[in-house]
Amino acid sequence: MGTKISKQGPAKVKIMGDINVQHKVVHYLTSLFFVRSLVSKSRRRMIVAGYDLDMTYITDRLLAMSYPAERMQAMYRNPLWQVKNVLDMRHPGHYKVYNLCAEESYDASHFHGRVEVYPFDDNHVPPLKMIKLLCESIHSWLSQDPENVAVIHCKGRTGLMVCAYLVYSGMSADEALQLYAAKRTTNNQGVSIPSQRRYVGYWSSILKIPRENLDGPPVVELPKPTTRELRRIRLYDTVNTDSIFFVVTKSLEAEEVPDQLYQPSVEVVKGCCRQVKQACQITDSPRYYMSCVDNDSDQSNNGRETTRFLVQMDTERSSIYQKTCLDYYFENPLQVAGDLRVIFYEKMFGGRLFYTCFNTAFIENILLQFSVRDLDKVGGKGRSICGSTFCLELLFGPTNPVEY
């Protein structure tokens, strides 16, 4: 008797082939979901109509989401066609998309032409005028129909603009930041970049509710351009380094880039902060100024400028020598105004440590101080040069100074 060998029929081979294809499809889709979840980090995701999207309702009429991507980026970001399908299904004819990306764009026809672009750099801050334009546009769109919704997206900018509109709608800056953090993230860390939180506070401070129309939108009082003299950059309590390079940039004003909403940053000055020497004496005499400051609250002045006599003494306190300090003094004070960013580098080229952004109109005295938690994008390298009492200090001259 011999062994009986039977051959597999074609039907069985086909079934095994179909199972292998199904396994590959399941593995592929599982990989995509994992990669997208990895990219979205702690942001909440929404599963709807079989799609897993990085999208959240902050309010019933305000959505935040990541960039709707095409081609290869759709592998790890929201696929544009899935976003379109969900919005068309949930809010047919009643949604408008607000794109904050400066580095990427897509055809507005994907969303039926209802797309507006307010571009600024990723993980950065926009001009206050741009925040005003976006909030007014969203308010106008939502006021047209009670079913209308606004969808705001980008990468590292969405939270700032969503919170700005929440403040425009009547919330305080803290309330807006807390609501966004709770709704958008699983770890309650919404707008995590300190400069962006700072600008939400700026925005809140320039909104006024009109007495004649308490139910209407607030009045936006954009600050007047304020020129300040930057005199010194100091890094207090540094470790593991004896020099740090810096670059000061400013955002171009709208007049400098006509017919363009995007306002790029340009370099103003760069230099190197070095260790303070105890014998170093920068100046041995005080400077006297007539500082002219608008004083609208003082009705007795009838709106005229108030002249204040100031004495500014650029002297050193002995306490700074107890810690390692890196300084840069401007021989000729640097005239600055508007939106500024100061970036610090380990080396002249590359190796960014951290940065900070601010607007000169909101500087209340001659000294701006930033602890580690007030700085943006402080990574391992940045923390490695910061002592336990580290502080960044920017010393300014008086507002709009006239030397006497």
Torsion sign, CA atoms 359, 364, 368, 374: negative
DSSP secondary structure code for residue 160 in this structure: H
200: which 2 tokens?
């939400």
Torsion sign, CA atoms 370, 130, 167, 182: negative
Spatial CA neighbour of 123 closest among 375, 317, 304, 398: 375
Q: Distance between CA 356 and CA 195 in Å, rounded?
A: 6
Tell me whether residue 154 is one of the annotated catalytic residues: yes
Largest CA distance in the chain: 122
255: which 2 tokens?
């007049």
Indicate which residue of 101, 154, 163, 357 is catalytic.
Answer: 154
Please, is 143 exposed, middle or buried when counting C-beta atoms within 10 Å of its C-beta (0-12, 13-18, 19+)? exposed
Residue 261 near residue 131, CB atoms below 8 Å: no
DSSP labels for 71-99? GGGGGTSEEHHHHHHHHHHHSTT-EEEEE
Q: Distance between CA 56 and CA 186 in Å, rounded?
A: 11
Catalytic residues: 154
